[in-house]
Structure 1
Amino acid sequence: MTTQTFDVTKAEAFAQQMLDVLNSAAIALMTSIGHRTELFDTMAELPPSTSEQIANAAGLNERYVREWLGTMVTGRVVNYDPHDKTYVLPAEHVASLSRNAVSDNIAPFTQFIPLLGTVEEQIIDCFYHGGGVPYSEFKRFHAVMAEDSGQTTVSALFDHVLPLIPGITESLQQGIEVLDIGCGSGRALNQLADAFPNSRFTGYDFSGEAIATATTEAQLRKLSNIQFQVKDAATLEERDRYDFITTFDAIHDQAKPDAVLQNIYKALRPDGVYLMQDIRATTDVGGNLDHPVGPLLYTISCMHCMTVSLAYGGMGLGAMWGQEKALQMLAEAGFKQVEIKQLAHDFQNDYYIVHK
């Protein structure tokens, strides 16, 4: 039996690391609030201002804004002038926090922290008794996911994602049948339907709330070439119907991802193409040690992706199922040709270009 030497320096460094974790968690919570109340957007347009001026410009209560600013100042997010008692959001920080930043805006992702906190008690119960937490327990999840997909997928759809597939843009212009499984609130599919009026688009999602949102947007856009339907993709029974099938960050969430992939194989025409966007990772945690958002993704997986799947008696793949498992399951579904592509601006996702 070997005796482990206690390293005081390492212990102190780790204690400091844990204090940093607490501070970062607090900043994340307040960043979520700053995003949802549009305080960052307001401050991005203001010169150095007092808490009262900021609150008035944002239409918010000054006392709460002042305390929020306390976190932002001590967290080195907002600069403070103690002489004039004014606050300013540096332009370099605006680039990561304002809605005008588009794809570089990190603030929307902080919403996952308070969202996941609402199911902590249920998750702890699962640690003791197994099972999972159903979709219905996650309030605002689709609203947050809509912003998430808007950051990573929708904003890059035409300039970056579609060009990964040779000839698909031309086919969409000419007119093909397209299916998006796990379409969520339909942001990507509605944009495609708007851009390619000669093609016909169908969106399936398990959530009635998401489908209602997607349908409303399609109606507002006056789109006649798109339809949305509440459907469990594991029950899909279509054959050789679609030229192009997409799943954006959806397969790992499925209760029965193996059945879903098999159904996609059957629904895809022989010369069709399947685009699967999913989390970039390795199946073994050892390959993810340097992943830039590994802790965040494993947490979201444990407290949403995995547990929702398990709640419905599913496989519980989790968000970090990884390339190795993905390639194995695609092969088991019957697919013969798989190419994995990546985008320079997107460190979070892999894009699987799949053919029969």
Structure 2
Amino acid sequence: MDINTERLNELVGKMLGDLGGAASVPMVRIGDTLGLYKALHQGGPMTPGELARQTRIHERYLREWLSFNAASGYLSYDEVSGRFSLPPEQAMVFVVEDSPVNMMGAFDLMAAMQKNQGQIEDAFRTGGGVPWGNLQCMFCATARFFRPGYQNHLVQHWLPALEGVVAKLEKGPSWPTWAAAAAGPR
């Protein structure tokens, strides 16, 4: 079998990038759940010890978490002061809930997909489906993922792009004749 080493190396490189992304999911969710991104956003640059005192999280684990996030480009690190910080651009992605680019829901979706993998595998085998209500954490993760888009674009951009929709919504409901008759006198 002839192996094209260039294509093989490209594939392995892509997979390593995918695995790095997969490793980010639990690390980002830990930072979200424990309030670490918010603490850095509110408190400014901190050493692992300062962040440990602020959040009451064990310093040894924080050092690893901070280093992972800095290596991933999610946090900044200042070698001189030994402090980690959350730049404003990263805060828009990790902390500011009304930001149009808040991505925390996407990380929740990836975790929910893994949590529900067994049910999906069974559906592959049987050809059946998986009821939405049986998918653990999927509903909340989906809502959290889509909220920033709806919050920042639905009324401001999406509805106005649909001809006549805003005017109809502002006018209010129009009752069909049968509905008015069923409702009785007003």
State the TM-score, normalized to the length of structure 1.
Answer: 0.44
Q: Is the 8 A contact 1:94 1:101 kept in 2?
A: no
1:276-291 map, 5 Å: none
Extract unaligned runs of 5+ from structure 1.
179-238, 242-356
Q: 1:138 aligns with which of 135, 140, 147?
A: 135
Distance 1:177 1:144 in 2: 35
1:1-356 map, 5 Å: 5-58=2-55, 60-99=57-96, 102-176=99-173
Distance 2:50 2:101 in 1: 27
Computed over aligned residues only, the root mean square deviation of the Cα atoms, in angstroms, reads 2.8
Distance 2:93 2:55 in 1: 19
Aligned length in residues: 178
Secondary structure, in 3 states, of the residue corresponding to 2:84? Answer: strand
Higher relative contact order (CA 8 A, sep 6+): 2
Secondary structure, in 3 states, of the residue corresponding to 2:77? Answer: strand
Larger helix fraction of residues? 2
Matched with 2:184 is none
- CA change 1:147–1:240 in 2 (3 A) is farther
Which whole-Å deviations, capped at 9, do the CAs of 1:70-96 have from their partners, x for residues lacking one? 321222222223454321122332232
Q: Which amino acid aligns with 2:103?
A: I
- Tell which deviates more after alignment, 45-54 or 14-23: 45-54
Extract unaligned runs of 5+ from structure 2.
180-186
Which whole-Å deviations, capped at 9, do the CAs of 1:47-72 have from their partners, x for residues lacking one? 32012322443454544433322321
Q: Which amino acid aligns with 2:71?
A: T
Q: Is the 8 A contact 2:104 2:144 kept in 1?
A: no
Q: Is the 8 A contact 1:97 1:105 kept in 2?
A: yes
Q: CA deviation at 1:154?
A: 3.2
Q: Which amino acid aligns with 1:133?
A: V
Secondary structure, in 3 states, of the residue corresponding to 1:45? Answer: helix
State the TM-score, normalized to the length of structure 2.
Answer: 0.78
Distance 2:12 2:178 in 1: 58
Secondary structure, in 3 states, of the residue corresponding to 2:136? Answer: coil
Which whole-Å deviations, capped at 9, do the CAs of 1:161-183 have from their partners, x for residues lacking one? 221233333333332169xxxxx
Which structure would you say has the larger Rg?
Answer: 2
